[in-house]
């Protein structure tokens, strides 16, 4: 019987075909052309340019993989896939995109994930088949964004560009080594959900800190586009109630305000670029110190 090529090698060979877009952002796969179109569209928005310019100088290469969105985490980590998870994965991913670690030669997947994780936090993974908590190193990691534009034809209120932007927020946090681990009950984002705001923020009850940031930033982009419907949860498709879809009302909640202050301290460059966009109707980053 012929030797089977280890899966991680075929994935590495496929990722080697990537094409540079701008700065350290690359794209690979059959839907690359559409993703380049989405990146160019994102660049037409001030909020989009604020994030893209930070991602482009974050010191880590970010790959957008437009084909591999149906693969499970186990396939990236080189572990044996768990067959019973596959049908569920296929359906939940129909309106989803993800960020995964991009392993380096000779460095395993979970060590790479630990580099995206903040010091003092842990990331759950497997070592010799056993579930283990890996301590974050905070070094930052190369991140691959699994984003296939064809999946985003009808995803709640979100557009394709919203979905791409959301994942780039996660990729930036991973590149900066700022992911903090917290499993939020009821949220579907396991393992690398960042921090906990559950129970403190009234309209984001079941949302990890990393998702909270990605959602609030994407809401600023939506507002810049003139859309008044803002996303209000990660775990379910909820529109942010009208009474808090306003920068000052949003900051009137202490937990929400503290979460954004923490963001300003952790991501000062991105925060400064967002804080000057005072003309955007919903922009709590601009309202934070005014």
For Zn ion, the binding residues (CB under 5 A) are 211, 214
Nearer to Zn ion, 169 or 287 (CB): 169
What's the closest the beta carbon of residue 128 comes to Zn ion, in angstroms? 30
The position carrying tokens 């100088």 is: 57
Q: How far apart are CA 60 and CA 138, in angstroms?
A: 13
CB of 189 to Zn ion, least distance (A): 6
Question: In angstroms, rounded to a whole number, what is the distance separating the alpha carbons of residues 223 and 245?
Answer: 10
Helix (H) or strand (E) holding 26: strand 25-28
At closest approach, how far in Å is the CB of 99 from Zn ion? 8
Question: Which residue of this chain has its Cβ atom nearest to Zn ion in the complex?
Answer: 214
What gap in Å lies between CA 21 and CA 220, rounded to an integer?
Answer: 24
User: Residue 86: is it exposed, middle or buried by C-beta count within 10 angstroms (0-12/13-18/19+)?
Assistant: exposed
Distance, in Å, from the CA atom of 124 to the CA atom of 189, rounded to the nearest integer, reads 12
In the complex, what is the shortest distance from the CB of residue 174 to Zn ion, in angstroms, rounded to a whole number? 11
Q: How far is the CB of 242 from Zn ion (least distance, A)?
A: 24
Please say which residue, 108 or 211, places its beta carbon nearer to Zn ion. Answer: 211
Q: What's the closest the beta carbon of residue 184 comes to Zn ion, in angstroms?
A: 12
| Closer of 62 and 214 to Zn ion (Cβ) | 214
- Residue closest to 14 by CA, chosen among 81, 72, 63, 83: 63
Region of residue 177 (phi > 0: left; psi between -120 and 50: alpha; otherwise: beta): left
- The nearer residue to Zn ion, 92 or 248, going by C-beta atoms, is 92
Q: No. of H helices and E strands in the chain?
A: 12, 7
In the complex, least distance from residue 96 CB atom to Zn ion, rounded to whole angstroms:
8
User: With respect to Zn ion, which residue has the nearer C-beta, 108 or 205?
Assistant: 205
| Strand ranges inside 41-188, DSSP E | 62-65, 98-101, 122-127, 130-135, 143-146
Q: In this structure, are residues 165 and 217 in contact, taking their beta carbons and an 8 Å threshold?
A: yes
Q: Report, in Å, the least distance between residue 260 CB and Zn ion.
A: 17
Q: Would you say 108 or 167 has its CB closer to Zn ion?
A: 167
Paired tokens of 83: 């067959």
Residue with Cβ nearer Zn ion (108 or 213): 213
DSSP 8-state symbol, 93: G
């Amino acid at each position: 019987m012929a030797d089977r090529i280890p899966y991680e090698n075929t994935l590495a060979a496929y990722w080697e075909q990537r094409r540079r877009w701008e700065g350290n952002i690359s794209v690979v796969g059959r839907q690359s052309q559409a993703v380049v179109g989405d990146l160019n569209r994102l660049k037409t928005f001030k909020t989009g340019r604020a994030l893209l310019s930070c991602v482009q100088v974050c010191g880590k290469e970010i790959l957008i993989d437009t084909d591999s969105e149906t693969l499970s985490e186990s396939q990236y980590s080189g572990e044996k896939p768990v067959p019973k998870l596959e049908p569920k994965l296929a359906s939940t991913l129909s309106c989803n995109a993800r960020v995964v670690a991009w392993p380096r030669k000779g460095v395993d997947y979970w060590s790479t994930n630990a580099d995206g994780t903040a010091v003092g936090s842990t990331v759950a993974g497997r070592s010799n088949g056993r579930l283990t908590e890996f301590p974050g190193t905070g070094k930052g990691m190369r991140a691959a964004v699994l984003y296939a534009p064809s999946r985003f034809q009808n995803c709640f209120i979100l557009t394709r560009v919203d979905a791409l932007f959301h994942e780039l927020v996660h990729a930036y946090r991973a590149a900066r080594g700022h992911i903090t681990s917290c499993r939020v009950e009821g949220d579907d984002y396991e393992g690398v959900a960042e921090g906990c705001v559950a129970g403190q923020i009234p309209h984001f009850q079941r949302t990890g800190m990393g998702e909270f940031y990605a959602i609030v930033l994407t809401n600023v982009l939506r507002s810049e586009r003139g859309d008044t419907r803002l996303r209000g949860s990660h775990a379910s498709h909820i529109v942010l109630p009208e009474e808090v879809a306003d920068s000052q009302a949003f900051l009137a909640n202490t937990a929400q305000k503290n979460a954004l202050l923490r963001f300003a301290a952790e991501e000062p460059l991105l925060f400064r670029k967002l804080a000057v966009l005072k003309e955007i109707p919903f922009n709590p980053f601009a309202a934070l110190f005014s």
